[in-house]
Amino acid sequence: MPRLAPSAALFLLAASLSSAQDATDTQKAAVAENLKKGELKGYTVVESATLLLASPLPEARAKAVAEALEKTAKTARKGLQYGEKEEAWKGKLAVYHVPDRRAYGNFLRLVLGDRTDTGVVVSVRGDEPVAAIGVETNPKATDAEFVGDIGPAIGAAYLQSKAGPNTPVPAWLRSGYGRAASLRADGPSGKRLTAYKTAARGAVLGKGRGPVTLGELWANDRPDAELIATAFVDYLAFGTDKMGQEKFVRFVGALRPDENGDVPEPAKALESVGWKAPEVEAAWRAWAQKGMNAK
């Protein structure tokens, strides 16, 4: 293959950088328009390496939070085995942090046509990838607490992209992965991770009610369903060995509709990649018993 002359290589690099900046500028304009359309006043929009964060935080704090969220993005990519240059979407992910339930529901309805008023909503189709989260946050929260509140939206977006932009991923899986990636990004000694491990270990091993089963996970109707889902996805993505982590990525891909448009049940998708329910349950509990450490 012929090598480009230095001047030609520099020209191509400049053109690439210019194109990327144009795309980011277009996305920024779209975020500003969405804030206006969603009736969110007093919000700032800040930029980091891979994110555009729209938040009511003062600009300096929002910028610090956005920079810290890059670690969450990196962890989310790692758990889903994205290649170094593999793009989850075009440009940057626009993250809308709306810490008011009523305002959040209004924003989703007006901008995304979604009538959900809690939790995480993601859309990674087209040129304007979006992640929105409406968790109510204490106004006196620290930057680290804001990072913990917003982080699950980023992990959820990466999982949705890996599954396929149009794949109807179960909410428990998408949000569970988002929370797991956010927690793991804190590092092994993080306060949130430590508290989560204590609570999740008791839930998985079944203090007072017996060990949790995959049937309960699929039903998603326990009072602690959110914690159970987080612990299960955390185990598959971060707690198994290399082969298990590869299976997790294949499991996510196996949720895509078939040629007839039929969507496989999670249990069937799990089996399709070589995981048998009794074995997974036993390994999950053993991992919880041993301390829920990442591999």
Interstrand relation of 51-55 and 120-123 (parallel, antiparallel or unpaired): unpaired
Residue 19 has a pLDDT of: 53
51-77: per-residue pLDDT in tens?
Answer: 999 999 999 999 999 999 999 999 999
Cα dihedral 232, 190, 83, 238 in deg (nearest 10): -30
pTM of the model: 0.91
| CA distance between the termini of the chain | 41
Residue 9 has a pLDDT of: 45
CATH code for 32-165?
3.40.30.160
Tokens, residue 221 = 């109707």
Q: What is the DSSP string of 197-243?
A: HHHHHHHHHTTTT----HHHHHHT-STTHHHHHHHHHHIIIIIS-HH
78-115: per-residue pLDDT in tens?
Answer: 999 999 999 999 999 999 999 999 999 999 999 999 88
Tokens, residue 11 = 């020209």
CB of 200 closer than 8 Å to CB of 292: yes
d(CA 91, CA 209): 47
CB of 93 closer than 8 Å to CB of 83: no
Local confidence band at 23 (pLDDT 50, 70, 90 cut-offs): confident
CB of 51 closer than 8 Å to CB of 95: yes
Domain boundaries, the chain: 32-165, 185-289
